[in-house]
Structure 1
C-alpha cells in the first residue's frame, strides 16, 4: 500500500519521462543534450502551478545522478542554506532545487550566491511569478537559463494518465481498472493542462469507485462530479491573474466577444472582483474612448452594480459591459494624446504659459501683463458654440499637435470639428 500521493509517486525519474515541455527539454534541444552529457546549468523555471517545474528538477537530478537537495524559500532559513553549502564542499557539486524562489531573502542570497557563481552549487529555482518582476537580479544574473513552462496539452495528459494506470511499481498497475478512452480523455480535458491535478483526480476517482469481480469499475457520473470540484488554476495575486487580465483586455480590444467572456469568467472564478472591475473601467476609456463615449458611463454603472451585488450576481452586469465594449467602435486617441504630452514634458519641451491665459483674479494682474484674453463664448461660430483664434500653448511648442483623431464611431464627428478648427487657424 502506497502512502505517498499518486502525483508524487509518478514524478519522472529522468528527463526522458517528462510529459510535454518539448520546447524546453525535447531531444532536439540544447538543454536535453547538456543534461544528457552531465552538464546542468543554473536555471529558473517559470510557470503556473502543476505544470511540471518540480518534476523537471527531479528528472534532471535523476538523469545526472548529482546530489540533489530540495528547499522551499518560504520556510527555509540561513541554516538550511549553509547545509547546502556544506554538502557542496563535501561532494564537489550539488543541485539545489529552490521552490518559490521569489521569496528568497537577502541573507540567503548572500550565503548562497558565491557558490552558485563558482559552480559548486547548481541552482534550479521555480516560481509561479514572472521572474523578471519578482526574482532578484542577483539571482537572475547567475542563471544561464530562464525557462517558461507551458500547460500540458490533452495528449500529454492522456499519456501521463495511461502511464499511471499501467505502472505496477509507482502507479495503479497492480489493480485492474476498467476505464474507457473517452473517460481518460474527459479527465485530460477537465484539468486544464495541470499534470498534478490530473493524477490527483485519477487517484480520487479510483479510490471512490466500486470493485466488482476483482476489477475497479469507473463510472462517468463520478468523473463529472469530481472534475466539478477541481476549480481553476491561478490566484488573484499570481502572474496568471495578470495574464488573464491582459488576455481579457486584448480580446475586448480585438472585438472577440467569446474570448472576452471566457477570460471574464475565468477571472471571476479566481474571486478578485475589484481588480476585474477596475480593469474593465480602464478599458472603457483606453480602448473604446471617444469612438463610443457613452460606454464609459455604462461600464462605470456596471462595475458599481457588480461591487454592490457581489458574486455570483456580479457576473451579469460585468458580462453586459464586456459585450458592449467588444462590439463598440474603438479609439485610443485620447490616451495616446495625453501620453504624447507627458513625453513632451519629460523631454523638456515646455515653455511659459502665455500671459493672456494667466490668472487675473487679483489686483495688479494687469500691471504684470496678464491681459488680452478673448472670451470664446462671446464669439459664436455656427452651431458649435463660441470660438476665437488665440494662442493657448507656450511659444516654444505653439504648433505642436498631440491629438490624432481616429475616424471611428462618434469620434468621426469630433475629428471633423477638430479639422475645421485647424483650417480656421490656418486662414487667420
Structure 2
C-alpha cells in the first residue's frame, strides 16, 4: 500500500470520528444522513484492499446515527432544552431572539419524530412528541408576539420621551447657542437615540429633528463668532494701545493714566456676553500683561524715588558741611547758589509729599538755623560794615592831623571797643 493511500485512510478514519461526535451533539439528522451517504460513497475512491479497513469506521458512524435517531431520551432532552430556551427568552424579552433558529430547531424535532428507524418510538411517546412539537410552535409564536408587543410599547414610550427631550434640547440650544452645555446635551441626545429601542421610522424622525437643531445652532454660533470677533478686535485694539504706550513712555504718570483707562475696560469686559471663551482668555491675558507692566513701572518709579531721595539727602548733608566752613563772602555766595540749585531740584523731583516735606524742612534748617546761611550772611554783613566805617574814620583822622599808628592804639580787645576810642578822639 502506498504511503499516500495510508494517509488518506487515516484522514478518512479521523473524519468518521469527527462525524460521530457531531451526531451525538446535534439534531440535524437530515444533514447528517447526507454526510454519511457521501462518506460511504467515497470508499469507492480507495483500493479494494482498503475497503475492508474502511467498512468498520463507516459502520460505526451509521450505527451511531441509528442509535441517536431512535433514542427517545435524547429527543426528550432536546425538546426540554428548546422549551428552556424559550422560557429564558421570556425572561429577557427585550433581547435579540432568533425566531428562525427556534423554528428550525422545532422543525428538526419534527423530522426526528417522523424519520426514526422503523418507528422505534412507542406510540404513546410518539403522540406525546407530536404534541410537544405543536406546543413548541405555539410557544415560539407567543414569544414572538409578546416581544413585538412589548417592544412596540417600549419604543412608543421611548419615542415620546425622546421627542420631548429633543424638542426641548433643540429649543434651548437655539435660544442660547453660546452655551457649551446645550451643545453637549444635543450630542448626548444623539447617543440616546442611537441606543434606544425604537422603530426605524421613529429613529429617522428624531434624527431629522436633531440634525435640524444642529444646523440652526451651528449657524447661530457662526454668526455669534463673527460678531464676537469684531467685539474682540475693539477690546484688543484699546488694550494693545494702552500697553504700547506703557512700554514706550514708561513713566509713573503714564502708569496712572493706564490704570484710569483700564478700569472701565475691565468692568465692561466683566459684563460682556458677546465674546467667545478663547477671546475672553486672550483679553484677560492682555490685561494681566498690562497690570504687570504697570507694577513694573511703579517699581521702577519707587527705585527712582529712592535714588532721588538719597541723592538730595546726601546733597543736603554736603551743603550743611559747606555752610559750617563759610568764612568769607565768596564762600557764602557759593553756598547760596548751591542752596538755590538744591531747592530747584527738590521742586522738580517726583518724590512723595511726605518725603518732600521732610527735605524742605531740612532745606529750611540749612537756611534759618543758628548755624545756617541766613546767620552767616548777617555776620559777614556786619563785619563788612564795621570795616568800612574804620576806613572812613582813619581818613578823617589823617585829614585833621590826628593820624594814629598801630603801636600807639591801646589794646581794646574788640572792634567795637576800637570804634568807641575813635569816636572819643574825634570828639
Same fold, TM-score > 0.5, yes or no: no
Structure richer in strand, relative to its length: 1
Place the TM-score, normalised by the shorter chain, in its bin. under 0.3
TM-score when normalising by structure 2: 0.19
Structure richer in helix, relative to its length: 2
TM-score when normalising by structure 1: 0.19
Ranked by relative contact order (alpha carbons within 8 Å, sequence separation 6 or more), the top structure is 1
